[in-house]
Amino acid sequence: MSQKVRVRFAPSPTGPLHIGGVRTALYNYLFAKKHGGEFILRIEDTDQKRYVDGAEDYIVNALNWCGIPFDEGPGKDGGHGPYRQSERKHLYKQYADKLISNGNAYYAFDTAENLDFHRKDHEARGKTFIYNWHNRLKLSNSLSLTKEEVQTKLDAGEDYVIRFKSPQDEKVILQDIIRGEIHIDSNVLDDKVLFKSDGMPTYHLANIVDDHLMKISHVIRGEEWLPSLALHHLLYDAFGWTAPQFAHLPLIMKPVGKGKLSKRDGEKLGFPVFPMSWQESKGYREEGYFSDAVVNFLALLGWNPGTEQELFSLSELVETFSLERVNKSGARFDPDKTKWYNQQYLQSRSNAELAESYAEILDEKLSSEQKSLDCARPGTLTKIVSLIKERAVFVSDFWQLSNYFFVAPSSYNEKASRKQWKEDSADIMSQLASVLEAIDDFSSENIETIVKAWITEKELSFGKVMPPLRLVVVGEMKGPHIFDILEMIGKEESIERIHKAHGILG
């Protein structure tokens, strides 16, 4: 690539970033890093009515949480700032004027009522009103009015907009890296508003001017912007600027049925659609997802590496990513797959790191007395994590999978008790308690050797000892190797649990 790669993610701060937006940012980031280029964040806040407090901070924090920070953007000037369009307000008018003077744009004075009248009138006749070549000469604008009339209106301070004069009878040929060549008949385009008399540009003008001034080489954005591509292409031509290359990403589709993924789908099916929590909506971060798992599944949502590989670190993604391998058709969102990813990432995390996160959960769950148990010490906690993590998707699952290490069962699974707690169980367990009492080296291996020897010596069957033992220690028939559990909870606690069960189970 001869031109320096500069891409931008250009969200409007109208709310939190949806995961679709995060994916757009991610693809921009991957493309930039792959080509040694720059990833820019531009805040498109020209529509002050839709501005939402806190949205910009949310966007920045979400990118940082995902580990895909921008190189240039608000607070990180790279010589092309400011990066908020509201701070660039003064720049746009001259460009609108330029288009007026070179005949590619015009003033329009039509009132809202008048336009509404035309819209309704067309509707009544089963037609759609489009402000363009076929009727612009019948409307109130600088193409239909005389120079003097226009000047009088401007001097009188009448409200106006500046519209793009879209060409008539032209075949517009567009190139998209993902979709290939697209042909558009210019006659279907409307004369979009570029500038309003309140001094603010519309999205289209500000977007093109900024992409040009910021030297953007590739525009990578969602498919919903594809209908604007023809206008953008014509705007570049009208300014005499070289257009960047475009790539429109496929939509992220609902898990079931038709249409694009929405916040409602998440609420209905119980999965997050935001990277981090926003008001009452939970985010991936708060639901316990690892950010690298989120990045990994988002990368594969619309892009395919051309191999069976599913797990990619960020640097592997940078290495492998290409826009050519982004799919044209929508990518179906699969909430189960997101969990699978998290599970994979959890398994590959070190036990010590997971234990650290688990300690934070335990801090809330355990009383100070329980916190002083051997099990709650960092080393032991790491071991516990190693025993149970296989079955976990999130660190928050650890508690469910290991609470019996810290808290003695207060009830026993009914079905298991019926099946495993026989008439002689209480007696056998008391005998076992004495055996345990006499063990000095209370390590899993040693307990196992001694208990097994005792079983053989007493001519007891394993079935009479092991299941009731698990029941009294764990409360149900789950968990890792029972002697590992005994070692971890310690001699005293093991014996206490046997006595406690005796009292409850009889």
Residues catalogued as catalytic: 263
Query: Is residue 22 within 8 Å of residue 28, measured between CB atoms?
Result: no
Of the ranges 10-18, 301-309, 457-465, 497-505, which one interacts with ligand GLU (CB under 6 A)? 10-18
Length of the chain: 506
Closest by CA to 193, choosing from 153, 231, 225, is 231
Residue 88 phi, psi dihedral angles, 5° rounding: -110, 10
18-47: contacts with ligand GLU (CB under 6 A): 44
Q: From the DSSP assignment, how many helices (H) and strands (E) are in the chain?
A: 21, 11
CB atoms within 10 A of CB 477: 13
Of the ranges 8-16, 92-100, 285-293, 373-381, which one interacts with ligand GLU (CB under 6 A)? 8-16
Residue type present at position 412: Y
Closest by CA to 44, choosing from 259, 300, 221, 167, is 221
Query: Is residue 163 within 8 Å of residue 197, measured between CB atoms?
Result: no
Q: Is 85 in the site for ligand GLU (CB under 6 A)?
A: no
Distance CA 379, CA 383 (A): 7
Q: Is 244 in the site for ligand GLU (CB under 6 A)?
A: no
| Residue given tokens 């789950």 in the structure block | 478
Interacting residue with ligand GLU among 12, 338, 382, 417 (CB under 6 A):
12
Question: For residue 435, what are the contacts with CB-CB under 8 A and spacing of at least 6?
Answer: 450, 451, 454
Taking the least distance from each CB to ligand GLU, the nearer of 45 and 484 is 45
Query: Is residue 22 within 8 Å of residue 62, measured between CB atoms?
Result: yes
Q: Is 243 in the site for ligand GLU (CB under 6 A)?
A: no
What minimum distance in Å lies between the beta carbon of 156 and ligand GLU? Answer: 34
Q: Is 129 in the site for ligand GLU (CB under 6 A)?
A: no
450-489: contacts with ligand GLU (CB under 6 A): none
Total number of residues binding ligand GLU (CB under 6 A)?
A: 7
Of the ranges 7-15, 284-292, 335-343, 442-450, which one interacts with ligand GLU (CB under 6 A)? 7-15
Q: Is 84 in the site for ligand GLU (CB under 6 A)?
A: no
Distance CA 191, CA 59 (A): 32
Bridge partner list, 141: 108
Q: Is 11 in the site for ligand GLU (CB under 6 A)?
A: yes
Distance CA 430, CA 499 (A): 7
Of the ranges 5-13, 26-34, 133-141, 334-342, which one interacts with ligand GLU (CB under 6 A)? 5-13
CB atoms within 10 A of CB 250: 20
Closest by CA to 432, choosing from 408, 450, 412, is 450
Taking the least distance from each CB to ligand GLU, the nearer of 223 and 484 is 223
Q: Is 357 in the site for ligand GLU (CB under 6 A)?
A: no
Of the ranges 9-17, 189-197, 319-327, 403-411, which one interacts with ligand GLU (CB under 6 A)? 9-17
What minimum distance in Å lies between the beta carbon of 246 and ligand GLU? Answer: 9
Taking the least distance from each CB to ligand GLU, the nearer of 17 and 376 is 17
Q: What is the DSSP letter of 136?
A: G
151-180: contacts with ligand GLU (CB under 6 A): none
182-241: contacts with ligand GLU (CB under 6 A): 207, 221, 225
Q: Is 248 in the site for ligand GLU (CB under 6 A)?
A: no
Taking the least distance from each CB to ligand GLU, the nearer of 238 and 471 is 238
Contact positions vs ligand GLU (CB under 6 A): 10-12, 44, 207, 221, 225
